[in-house]
Structure 1
C-alpha cells in the first residue's frame, strides 16, 4: 500500500506533527452535495403513512453511490443520535492513519533492558480476534522486561452509561489491553461451576448467594469496583463475557502468568538517544471486519487509540485522531458531526443522515468496492444483518446497524433490481415501540426501494 507524508500544524492539539499515512486508493476530489432530486411520491407515502414510523423522529437519505446524485431525503439535515453507526467514522480514521497491520507495541532497548508500552492494540489474547505476536516477541527477547504505562484515556468514554460496566459490550479502554479486558465463562447444564478464562480469575469466581433476585436474567455479576464474579445457578448451557476492572498491577500479573518470566513496572520517559521501534500485529482488516460486522465496541474504541499512537508515542487519546480527521479529511461534510468516541456508546454523538451518506460516498470512492462491502454486515449473510434482507441469490444490502435504547439506525449500501448501488442512511430516534418493529419497518421500506429504483 503506497504511503505519503503528511505535515500539519494541529492547532487544536497545540503541536506540529509529521505522519506517514496509507492511501486506500487514489483519493477522490472533495465530496460535493448535489441539490436533492424530487422525492419519489410512493416513498414519501410509505414513510409518512407508516403507523410505526410516524410516532418517532425519522431521517432518511438515499444517494447513488456512483454518481453522487441524491435520490431521496427526509429530515436529512437534522441531527440524530447515531449509536454504533459511528464505527464507520472509526473505520475511516483507521484507513487513513494505520498501515496494513496493527501496531501491537512500542519498545526501546537500553543495554540489557527492554522497555515496552502500549499502542492500544486490543488483540493480545482477545477471545475473537486473537493475536500472540506481541506475546511471542516478549517471550523470546533476551533482555529484562519493563512495562511503561503511558498517559491514556479514562476507562469509560464521555456520556457512557455507568451501570453497563457489567456487560460484555462495555469493557474498559486502555493502552495495553489483554484478553479483551473481559473474563469468559463457559457453563454446562448439570455442572456446578462454569469454566473460567483466563484461569487467573477462577479463584475470584463463586456461586451467587441463594435467593438473590435476577430481574435482568444475568448469568454473571461483578461488583462495580471489584474483580469478584458471582454466577447464578446453571440450568442450561451458556457463554458469558464480563469485563474486568483494569489496573497496572493486574496487567503485570497477567503478563507474568502468561510469559512465565518477570515483567517489572518502570516510569515512562524517552531519552534523546532512544530508537523507538514497533512490533506489528494482525492485518488491519481482521479488526475492521469484526468491529463492523458484530458491532464490537471495544475494538472500535481501541482503534482510535492505535490511530493516536501514530500521532505521538507519549500518550494515547481518542480526541486527538478525531480532531485530525475532522480538520484534514472530513472538513467538507454537509454537517459537522458531534463526535466524541469510537464506538457510538455515547449519546453525546450527533450526526445527520446526509453526513452519514457523505461518509459512505467517501469510503466508496477511496476503498475498492469488493473490499469495502466485505467489511460490513451482509443481509442474509453474516453479522448483525444475517437474519434479515435475505435473498437466495446472495446479499443485496450491506450495512452497519446502530442501536441504543429507543434508537435504531441502519446505514450502508443496497443494490437495486436495476443494478444501481445506493448509499443510504435510515435513522430512527426516540421510538417507543420495540426495536424489532422498527427493524421490520426499515426492511419493508428498503425492500421497496430495491424493487422500484
Structure 2
C-alpha cells in the first residue's frame, strides 16, 4: 500500500511538472543587478535633464544583463529610433537583395507592379536594375497599381508635406518621390530635376507669404512649385504629389517608350516572379546613418511584399513582426509607422535595449555597427561623441520638436560593449543643450562601467 501510494505521488509530481513547463509565460523584464549610485546622481542633479521626462536603460551585450535603469519601464515617444524596428523587420522578412518588382510574363506583354522598393532613380541610393529591365523588355509594358498603405502615416503632421523628410509612400516610387532644385544667386528659376517638373516651377509672386523662409513652396494639393529669390546659391528637395497616372507619365518620359495602366488581375496559369535589386545593406546603411524617413517607410512596404503578392500594407508588416518576432520584448511597442515621424509610436527604454540585444544576436557585430551612425565618424553623430582614438559609440538618433533620443551601443574603456537607450521627451530647452548633457553622461558611462 505504501509502495503504491509512493508511485502515485511520484506520477502526480511528474505530471504537475510537465503541465507547469507547458504553460506559456510572459517574458519578464530584466531587472538591474545594481543601479550605480553615481549614475543615478548624475541624472538627478542635472539642471537640464531634471526639467523633462528622461528614460535610460543600459545592458551588457555579452550577458544581456541590465546594468542600469531609470524610468526604463515608462513609455516614451521614440521618434526616429523606431527605424531600428524597421531594420529588424527587414532583417527578418527580406532576402539579401531588395525586391524591386513583381511581374508576370505573358505572350508579348509584361505585367508588372511595385514591391515598395524606393531605389528606382533615387538621388541618394539609385538603382537602374528595374529601369534597365523595363527599358529593354521586348514586349508591351503594362503597369498594375496595387492596394497600398495611405501616402501619409498615422499621426503625421499634415503641414510637413512641403519638406524633404516627408515624401509620400507608394508601391513603385520613382526619384524618391521628390523634386530637386539647384538655385543660383540672382537667378529667378533654379535647375529642376527631374526635368518633367520644370514647366511646373515658377518664380514666387512678389509679396507671397513665406513665414518659414522656404526656398521652394509647393501647392498643397497639386504639383505646382514656387521658387523664392535668394542672395546665394542653394539646393532644396521637395516632395511631389503621387498618383498612378503621374507614375505612368514619369516612367514613359524616362524610359522613352509607351506603357499601359491596367488593374492587377492574375490568371491561374500566371507565374509571379520577383526582380532583385540592390543589396539590402545599401538601404539599411543610408536609412540609419542619415535617418532617412522615406527609406524606412518603404522598407516596411517591401516587407509586406514578401507576405502578399497583390497588396502592400505597413500595418500588416507590423502585425507579423509583433506576433512572430517581438513577443519576447519586456514591453510591447505601440508601433504605427516605419520612420518614427508619428507621435503615436510609444516604446519603453528597456524594450529598445532588448531590441538592440536581438539585433546583435541576429547580425555579426562588425556589420551591425557599420550600418549605424558613428560618433565622430559619419551620419547624424559625426559632430558629436568624438574621440581621437576612434569611434566608441554607434547609434540611432530620434528627434522631434521637444524630443531628443539616442539608442545604440558604446564600447567602455574596459572593453565591454553596452547597449543603451537614452530618451528625452517634452524638453523646452534647445536640443543642443540636451545633447551636450547626454554626451557628458554617456562619456561617464564609457569611462566608469
- What is the deviation of 1:32? 6.6
> Which residue among 66, 69, 72 is the counterpart of 2:62?
66
CA contact (8 A) 1:168 1:242 kept: yes
CA distance in 2, matches of 1:77, 1:287: 32
2:109 to 100, 110, 113: 113
Q: TM-score, normalised by structure 2?
A: 0.93
Structure 1 residues 129 and 32, CA gap change in structure 2 (3 angstroms): farther
1:365-411 deviations in Å (ceiling 9; x for gaps): 11000000000000000000000001111100000000111111000
Considering only aligned residues, what root-mean-square deviation do their CA atoms show, in Å?
1.1
CA deviations on 1:406-431 (whole Å, 9 max, x unpaired) are 11100000001111111000000111
2:289 matched to 1:282?
Answer: no
Q: Deviations over 1:80-114 (max 9, x none)?
A: 00000000000000001000000000110111111
Matched residues in 2 for 1:256 and 1:235: separation?
Answer: 37
Matched residues in 2 for 1:31 and 1:231: separation? Answer: 55
Q: Aligned match of 1:265 in 261, 280, 287?
A: 261
Pairs within 5 Å for 1:205-354 = 205-354=201-350
TM-score, length-normalised on structure 1? 0.92
d(CA) in 2 for partners of 1:451, 1:373 = 20
1:124 to 116, 120, 139: 120
Q: Is the 8 A contact 2:155 2:344 kept in 1?
A: yes
Q: Name 2:155's counterpart in structure 1.
A: 159
Please list, as runs of the form range in 1=range in 2, the aligned pairs for 1:38-187 lying within 5 A after superposition: 38-187=34-183
Displacement of 1:435: 0.9
Q: Deviations over 1:262-311 (max 9, x none)?
A: 01101111111000111100000000000000000000000000000000
Asked if structure 1 preserves the Cα contact closer than 8 Å seen for 2:285 and 2:371, the reply is yes
Tell me which protein shows more helix as a share of its residues.
Answer: 2
**Aligned residue in 1 for 2:392:** 396
Are the counterparts in 2 of residues 33 and 68 from structure 1 also a CA contact under 8 Å? no
Give runs of ≥4 in structure 1 deviating > 3 Å: 30-34
Question: Could you list the runs of 5+ residues in structure 1 that have no partner in the other structure?
Answer: 1-29
Equivalent-residue separation in structure 2 for 1:232 and 1:214 (angstroms): 9
Q: Is the 8 A contact 2:27 2:330 kept in 1?
A: no
Q: Deviations over 1:16-66 (max 9, x none)?
A: xxxxxxxxxxxxxx9874321221111111100111101100000000011
Aligned residue among 394, 419, 423 for 1:423: 419
Q: Where does residue 375 of structure 1 map in the other structure?
A: 371
2-side partners of 1:311 and 1:380: how far apart?
Answer: 39
What's 2:199 paired with? 203
Give the Cα separation in 1 of the matches to 2:46 and 2:356. 27
Distance 2:33 2:141 in 1: 63
Give the distance between the partners of 1:397 and 1:188, measured in 2 at CA. 39
Instruction: Give the Å deviation of 1:234.
Output: 2.3
Secondary structure, in 3 states, of the residue corresponding to 2:424? strand
Task: Mark the structure with the bigger radius of gyration.
Answer: 2
Distance in 2, Cα, partners of 1:423 & 1:417: 15
